[in-house]
Structure 1
Amino acid sequence: MANRLKITLVKSTIGSIPKHKKTVEAMGLRKVNKTVEMPDNAAVRGMINQVRHLVKVEEI
């Protein structure tokens, strides 16, 4: 497994449940098509799993 993940917000959080909006914002994603790099660990994987329909993930 890679030690970093590149996470891109590909779908808007408008209409999402509040928990998903807060999860996306906690990952540092504010606008559509913005990308952040995060460490590959269980906590981040859990956040990604919760909002997997809104984000695209690449291992780097």
Structure 2
Amino acid sequence: MAKSKTLKVRQTGSPIRRNDKQRQTLIGLGLNKVGRVRELEDTPSVRGMINKISHMVEIVEE
């Protein structure tokens, strides 16, 4: 079984005063508090979500 690639994503910005789509994208990624880190599968849809809120998240190097 091949190991799928993953990304570690940390939330760096607050969703306060952001539009609802950006808030929902954070929730979709499993992030809702500043400083929270999630390990997500590296798929085109996850990359697109990260790209939409790139000003509020960062990819953590392992």
| 1:58, distance to aligned residue in structure 2 (A) | 2.9
4+ long deviations beyond 6 Å: none
Q: Distance in 2 between matches of 1:30 and 1:54?
A: 11
**What is the CA–CA distance in structure 2 between the aligned matches of 1:58 and 1:34, rounded to whole Å?**
11
Larger radius of gyration: 2
Identity of aligned residues (%): 36
Task: Provide the aligned length of Structure 1 versus Structure 2.
Answer: 59
Secondary structure at the residue paired with 2:17? coil
| TM-score (normalised: structure 1) | 0.90
Unaligned stretches of 5+ residues in structure 1:
none
Q: Give the TM-score normalised by structure 2.
A: 0.87
Structure 2 residue runs of 5 or longer lacking an equivalent are: none
- Root-mean-square deviation (CA, aligned residues, Å) is 1.5
Residue type at the aligned position of 2:19: I
The alpha carbon displacement at 1:59 in A equals 5.2
Q: Deviations over 1:5-56 (max 9, x none)?
A: 0010001010111000000011000210000000111000000000000001
Which amino acid counterpart does residue 20 of structure 2 have in structure 1? P
